[in-house]
Structure 1
Amino acid sequence: MAEILIPNCSLGVPSNLLRLKPISSLKRGIPSSIAWKSAFCELKESSVFRTRSFRAQRGGIQAAATSSSVAEDDAKGAKEPMSIDNLRRFIDLNVGKWNGSFYQFDARGNLLQTVSTKLSASSYGEDELISLIQTLYIKQPPSYDEEPEWVEYKIKETNMFTVDKYQQIGFFPRERAFSLRYLTAGMLETIIRAGVLGEDDTGEEFPKNLKIPSKWPSVVCENCLYSLKNNTRARAFHIMDPKGILEMFIVFVEEKGNEEPVIASCNSEISDLPNRITPWLGRWEGHSVTKRSGVYGSTITEADTVAILKMDDKCNLIQDITSTPGGSNITTNVHWTGTISNNLITFDGGFQLTLLPGRMYMGCPCNIGNNVAKSQSFHLEFCWMESPEKRQRLVRTYDVEGQAVSSTYFYEIKV
């Protein structure tokens, strides 16, 4: 996944970090009010990423301790023979013909490109051999007087082998949400770079004036949320450059078996500040479910949550997130202050939110390289407010060895 986060170092890793030892233990918690774990640094060589681990130093936000041990969680997960069933449910959720659009945004949330897409997903095999096959069709710009061409790209199969080894899926069957981690740049190389954002033999970009992702991204993560009302879904990608700095966002908005859906007001013209931030302000109450990554998907914890976002008289943003695990009277609070500039909210903890059209936002650290240098981990977040009163959030958390250890789904109502 991650590769050269810090430049001018042997294999992309500072020499002082190479001497540090790994930590294998994990701490429980909710990603939005989490016990921050240590960061990771992974390297890529010949399209294969190698992982290096680092000694953890406790930093960031420490959540309240829980009574159940990690060993108990691991034992619980091992006793749940749900792997094949979860994989089958994941495949059933994705199977079908999806029509949609691909939106590319820069790191500040400005729309760069919109392209029509079609996705065909089917399955074959049974039990342990069941697999998901997906083919993406991308509409190419017409040349001269010719009709537009749909170019076909095969996506890596999903099966019992790939789902844990390469993709480390975080799946919520009931909530219809999932996260995927990409260990290689395959998605970029075969779909985005060669397809929508392909380059010709002379190295010129096509289409012109479009930002091309780095050939060796440090992080590529997909978060998918399904509509609460219909068969529409949004698949959002965080893409970090080799130094660990956010490079771009990609969002696929797709609907099963119908005409392509469109993100509301999805254009480069952004309304003025009060209208853009207003939908997110207020008090949001809900529930969260955190699951261990992997096809077994054992639940780590559930919690009742309250998220408050408000603006003071100096136009500074203040965010408070409170989490109370089920069966516990211990409440954890996370307090952040931040500033907003156009589409970008920057919090004092080194975390940023980028507001996107269609009442979406995506969150990530301002610089993953800094997290690595400080031996701190991070999380990536995608939020979709499908209606003014309801929203879903999906948070992906990584551990000290660069593994996507957990995913957390939030369902919240504005009160």
Structure 2
Amino acid sequence: MKSQWDCLLQNLGEWQGSFTRFSAEGNELEDTPTVVSLEGLHGNQTIRQIIRRLAPEPTEKILEYSTLGRGILFFEEGAFSQGSLQFAPFSEFGAELGLIHGDRRLRLVQLFNQNSQCDRVTLIREHRAGTTASERPPLTVKDLIGTWQGEATTLYPDWREPTTCSSRLHIRQEGDRLLQELSFGSGAPSRAIASIAEIDENRLIFAQGVQPIQVLLLPDGASSNCPVQIKLGQAFFLEIGWMVQPNLRQRMIRSYSDKGEWLSLTLVTEQKVSAA
């Protein structure tokens, strides 16, 4: 297994794209072209990261680091998440979740305000300089409908051994509602979760329970999944989804306990095995 640092090195290179900021309801507010470069120094023992925003006013930010913080974890292909270790009321909270597929990256930043409400979402679409990898169309409800089978790998902040299990997700539409059945594992330890969402244009609202969840359907086959407002004493998760091909999807889930403690990071790679 690669070290966490070696997994980070999968992101080396120059990434061209844009930072697109959305309101909590999924309305596009701002789109800024960007170039992000990650360069290995001293035999890749140090990383220099340069973030250039090209408009409206060009800016440049340079970071150098040789260690990784406690709030970040990487998967072997370079996918990662960094963010808050602990949720606390009356303070800002958030995380970045990043997926990588070939010469393309998709990153999502979800930020919550001091009232624990989802305040803004930033989608970062990137491709390696010199490549022509094409962007996916915006995600639609129709894209999601069907049965998805995959594998889920979970990493832990205490660096214990990763765990892997199978996953199965069945999604169907009934009028303006979306019905979802999700199961992990097989045999006695398996878990199953059923939920229903109201479809509101490019939003899916899961309103059951004390902590409503909202899924935004975004450009480039992306989705953002998080609580509308984080409730004290309730476990929750932050998720990014990416339809990298019509029948291939990645999801990353950053999970927190009912005490607000960061528990794990899960990467799911799933294929559509049935369209109904």
Indicate if the aligned counterparts of 1:98 and 1:258 stay in contact, CA closer than 8 A: no
- Answer yes or no: is 1:311 the counterpart of 2:173: yes
Offset from partner CA, 1:115-170 (integer Å, 9 cap, x none)? 1101121233569xx332211000122xxxxxxx6321124x4433x422xxx212
Q: Determine the structure 1 residue equivalent to 2:80.
A: 178
Give 1:180 deviation, angstroms: 0.7
Matches of residues 150-169 of structure 1 in structure 2 within 5 Å? 150-155=58-63, 157-160=64-67, 162-164=68-70, 168-169=71-72
Q: Determine the structure 2 residue equivalent to 1:344.
A: 203
Q: Determine the structure 1 residue equivalent to 2:6.
A: 89
Give 1:225 deviation, angstroms: 0.6
Q: Determine the structure 2 residue equivalent to 1:358.
A: 220
Indicate if the aligned counterparts of 1:232 and 1:256 stay in contact, CA closer than 8 A: yes
Q: Determine the structure 2 residue equivalent to 1:104.
A: 21
Q: Determine the structure 1 residue equivalent to 2:38.
A: 121
Residue type matched to 1:411 in 2?
T
**Stretches of structure 1 lacking an aligned partner (at least 5 in a row):** 1-81, 142-148, 185-215, 267-274
- In 1, the alpha carbon distance for the partners of 2:85 and 2:185 equals 33
- In 1, the alpha carbon distance for the partners of 2:15 and 2:214 equals 31
Misfit runs of 4+, over 4 Å: 259-266
Name the % identity. 25
- Answer yes or no: is 1:235 the counterpart of 2:235: no
Give 1:276 deviation, angstroms: 2.9
- Answer yes or no: is 1:220 the counterpart of 2:94: yes
Give 1:293 deviation, angstroms: 2.2
Indicate if the aligned counterparts of 2:18 and 2:33 stay in contact, CA closer than 8 A: yes
Q: 1:126 to 1:263 in 2, by over 3 A?
A: closer
Indicate if the aligned counterparts of 2:235 and 2:259 stay in contact, CA closer than 8 A: no
Q: Determine the structure 1 residue equivalent to 2:147.
A: 283
- In 2, the alpha carbon distance for the partners of 1:304 and 1:233 equals 24
Q: 1:124 to 1:403 in 2, by over 3 A?
A: farther
- In 1, the alpha carbon distance for the partners of 2:155 and 2:266 equals 6
Most deviating of 275-284 and 231-240: 275-284
**Stretches of structure 2 lacking an aligned partner (at least 5 in a row):** none
Q: 1:182 to 1:332 in 2, by over 3 A?
A: closer
- In 2, the alpha carbon distance for the partners of 1:265 and 1:414 equals 17
Normalising by the residue count of structure 1, what TM-score does the alignment of the two structures yield? 0.59
Matches of residues 360-375 of structure 1 in structure 2 within 5 Å? 360-368=222-230, 371-372=231-232, 375=233
CA RMSD of aligned residues (A): 2.6
Higher helix content, 1 or 2 = 1
- In 2, the alpha carbon distance for the partners of 1:412 and 1:95 equals 26
Across the two proteins, how many residue pairs are aligned to each other?
267
Indicate if the aligned counterparts of 1:101 and 1:261 stay in contact, CA closer than 8 A: no
- Answer yes or no: is 1:324 the counterpart of 2:239: no
- In 2, the alpha carbon distance for the partners of 1:343 and 1:397 equals 24
Give 1:249 deviation, angstroms: 1.0
- In 1, the alpha carbon distance for the partners of 2:84 and 2:249 equals 26
Offset from partner CA, 1:210-242 (integer Å, 9 cap, x none)? xxxxxx962220111111xx3110111111111
Give 1:358 deviation, angstroms: 1.8
- Answer yes or no: is 1:134 the counterpart of 2:49: yes
Q: Counterpart of 2:140 in 1: which secondary structure?
A: helix
Q: 1:361 to 1:392 in 2, by over 3 A?
A: same
- In 2, the alpha carbon distance for the partners of 1:246 and 1:169 equals 21
Q: Determine the structure 2 residue equivalent to 1:25.
A: none
Larger radius of gyration: 1
Q: Of 120, 127, 131, which residue of structure 2 is paired with 1:255?
A: 127
For CA contacts below 8 A with separation 6 or more, give which structure has more relative contact order.
1
Q: 1:298 to 1:132 in 2, by over 3 A?
A: farther
- In 2, the alpha carbon distance for the partners of 1:259 and 1:304 equals 33
Indicate if the aligned counterparts of 1:217 and 1:239 stay in contact, CA closer than 8 A: no
Normalising by the residue count of structure 2, what TM-score does the alignment of the two structures yield? 0.87
- In 2, the alpha carbon distance for the partners of 1:238 and 1:277 equals 21
Give 1:412 deviation, angstroms: 0.5
Indicate if the aligned counterparts of 1:101 and 1:262 stay in contact, CA closer than 8 A: no
Give 1:261 deviation, angstroms: 6.8
